[in-house]
A = this chain, B = another copy of it.
Amino acid sequence: AEAANAPKNVLADQRRSLEDLLKRRFVVGQAFEIYGGVAGLFDYGPPGAAMKDALISLWRQHFILEEGLLEIECTCLTPDPVLRASGHVERFTDFMVRDTVTHECYRADKLLAEHVTARALPNETNPTRKARLEQLVHDVDTYSQTELGAALKEAGVVSDAGNQVSEPFPFNLMFATQIGPSGLIPGFLRPETAQGIFVNFRRLLDYAGGKLPFGAATIGQAFRNEIAPRSGLLRVREFTLAEIEFFVHPSREGRHHSKFGSIRDLKVPLLTKKAQETEGDDTVIMAIGDAISQGIIDNETLGYFIGRTALFLKAAGLADSRTHGPTPQDSAFRFRQHRSTEMAHYANDCWDAEIWTSYGWVECVGIADRSCFDLGRHSEKSGSELVAYERFDEPKDIEVTVFKFDRQGLGMALKKLAKPAIEFLEATSDDARKAYAAELESKGFITIRVKPEADKKKKKDDPESAEEPQEVDVQVPKQYVTIATETKRIHGQTFTPSVIEPSFGLGRILYSLLEHAYYVRGGEDEARAVLSLSPLIAPYKVALLPLSANDAFSAILGEIRRSLSAVGVSCKVDDSGSSVGRRYARSDEIGIPFAVTVDFQSIENRTATIRERDTCTQIRVPIAEIAKLCYDLSNGNVMWADARATYPEQQQSASDSVGRKE
């Protein structure tokens, strides 16, 4: 319901000019444009690729290094059985409708929301009907196929061309392909990166020394064949995900987190399930510790990652953007809890970090307690036990039910079925054995389903023609089975871990940061666009400019460049012939926070100026101190105000914040 409940916002007003900037400076561009482009595919140009790389570095530092996660890299190509086990083959679908005349495809929920918001509501005067239409849009994410069909009819939805649309039907969003020359291995491009971690669980647990909790992470491309990608960079068909799977013991205690204290008092904006279901969309600001003690957030580990995510989004730059929210007091992001109808049956609790954008609130991070669903499914479907072992503090004595068989008698009675029957019963769990014991007592036999032993000789002679034997029902009579209860001393047990999954859409976060960073400031002659990006996300930390194309500057320019490189501060030299003011404007446009200019005074007294992007103020700094100062400014060790207090102010050049027209 992103598009529908969006109040009018300032981000939407400036979207077109931001998009123009992103295209003009090749931050991003539609992929394959010279061939007409493909909807939902975008390329990152040099500044965009550098920003994305910076965002990935920040994420790695904030999560992988600080949480000590195990980072792995898995393939995009994924064979069918893996995505069948995960449920994607069956259920990774959106509902689609077609224009019954042109056959154009639409995503049903988006069409409903757009139609109601843009066409139906503005012309609706009846307040009851109006409220009902708003309700339809509000609830659209929760609808089943049938409910969605009914809602489309009720709202009178037609296609863009004004034609009737079909009933909604599920469309699988995975890109299919075939692996190998014979076409016998059907596969898909992964729709998320998480499965790579689950299928490697045993290796990872081993790497972690067999101990829980531990977390693994992976950063990589994922692919979704969106039905009708429209929302620019927010709904794309190929994108970068950064996903964490944090494995814990499935008990309540297992979900405690050793570092929880560090975020207990952190206040975050929460839009709870209850608020959405009963009270209207009211976001509350609440300490994470309180939300847990009040039963709003399910557990500490989930709460810990909500807190760490809030800190990450702030570090990336959303902290300074509160005025960009729907109302001035709102945060630029919030955590929205999934409603019961949205959430998978196995999930304990799910929260999306949503960022306010020109398209309304957009899900950028999902944080879900998925219990033991994923490992359980892969254990079942692959036949490999994906479990951890828990050693008890004290050994326990437990009562177990054991079968004892009269093997000879059973062999004569059941022939080829005897051995499989014994193997089947010996492999059963204690609970199942108790049930069989009761059945044996009441009926005099138990019925199980097994495969007869294969005829080994035949199979060996002609492996092609030997058919796999079919399962049959077999009755095991009481006379051949004795049941006993024995006491067994056990030192531990295996269990399927639960998992908490924070999953980050890095492209969406980057686009949201760009929307929040963009502003236009007036000059004397013209307006100038600025990307006020955090230095951590800026594509380069420093723009390095000679005052003019004079050879006298090149030695000092080279010296500063090398000193910046030595401390790892990226810089972009602009020695084009344009005026300094114009070059400042060009570096502001792609978000470079600091500009170092070499002028005639630099030659005289070995100083250069540093200009800050947003204040346009300048200081004059000895060349020997520039690299260290730029390093400290870029990493937040020194604030610009402190630097201004330390070094002499330099008057702005006449052309700054004015500049000639590009």
Interface residues of A (CB under 8 A from B): 25-26, 29, 31-35, 38-39, 41-46, 48-50, 52, 65, 70-79, 81-82, 96, 103, 105, 171, 175-182, 185, 187, 189, 196, 199-200, 202-204, 206-207, 209, 221, 223, 225, 227-228, 237-238, 378, 381-384, 386, 565, 568, 576
Contact = CB atoms under 8 A, between A and B. Distances in A.
A568 to B, nearest CB: 7
Nearest to A94: B181
B32 A46 contact: no
A238 B79 CA distance: 13
Contacts of A43: 72-75, 196, 200
A73 to B, nearest CB: 4
Given A81-B35, A206-B26, A45 B199 contact: no
Nearest to A185: B38
A162 B329 CA distance: 77
A182 B105 CA distance: 7
A533 to B, nearest CB: 18
11 contacts: A26-B203, A31-B196, A34-B202, A34-B383, A41-B179, A45-B207, A52-B73, A96-B181, A105-B180, A189-B189, A221-B221
Contacts of A177: 175-177, 189
A77 B38 contact: yes
B45 A77 contact: no
A123 to B, nearest CB: 27
A207 B179 CA distance: 39
A157 B29 CA distance: 51
Contacts of A175: 77, 177-179
Contacts of A26: 200, 203-204, 206-207
A33 B181 CA distance: 20
A42 B75 contact: yes
Contact of A31 (B33, B75, B189, B568): B75
Contact of A181 (B79, B105, B179): B105
Contacts of A179: 38, 41, 175, 225, 237
A75 B203 contact: no
A203 B73 contact: no
Given A46-B70, A225-B181, A32 B105 contact: no
A165 to B, nearest CB: 14
A35 B134 CA distance: 47
